[in-house]
């Protein structure tokens, strides 16, 4: 009886080690697929920052254009009122 229990324990221990090795392999595989390459991530972050800067500049230019348009409308309104 004790010998049978010892054999079962050894079998369970081996299966446990195999299962742990498989789990570790799966976790490493999942981790490697979900994490981007740090150099690629840095490149994409820089690209995003560049786009954000461009959008800010364009937004500022658009605000300037709208301001100029408003000034032109105001000037046209004054000219038609005095003329």
Distance separating alpha carbons of residues 47 and 73, to the nearest angstrom: 39
In this structure, the dihedral spanned by the alpha carbons of residues 58, 62, 67 and 69, taken in order and rounded to 10 degrees, is 140
The pTM (predicted TM-score) of the whole model is 0.48
Residue 34 CA, distance from chain mean position: 11
Interval 18-46: pLDDT, tens: 988 888 888 888 777 776 667 877 888 89
| pLDDT score of 8 | 81
Q: Are residues 24 and 58 in the same domain?
A: no
Q: Are residues 29 and 5 in the same domain?
A: yes
Note the maximum CA span of the chain: 116
**pLDDT > 90: percent of the chain:** 33
Q: Which domain holds residue 67?
A: 38-83
Q: Are residues 48 and 62 in the same domain?
A: yes
| pLDDT score of 5 | 76
Q: Are residues 60 and 22 in the same domain?
A: no
Interval 74-83: pLDDT, tens: 888 887 776 6
Buried b (16+ CB within 10 A) or exposed e, 18-39: eeeeeeeeeeeeeeeeeeeeee
């Amino acid at each position: 009886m004790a010998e049978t229990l010892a054999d079962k324990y050894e079998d369970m221990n081996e299966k446990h080690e195999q299962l742990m090795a498989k789990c570790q392999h799966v976790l490493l595989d999942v981790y490697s697929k979900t994490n981007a390459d740090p150099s690629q991530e840095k490149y994409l972050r820089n690209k995003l920052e560049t786009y954000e800067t461009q959008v800010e500049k364009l937004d500022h230019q658009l605000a300037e254009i709208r301001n100029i348009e408003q000034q032109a409308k105001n000037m046209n309104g004054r000219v038609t009122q005095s003329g």
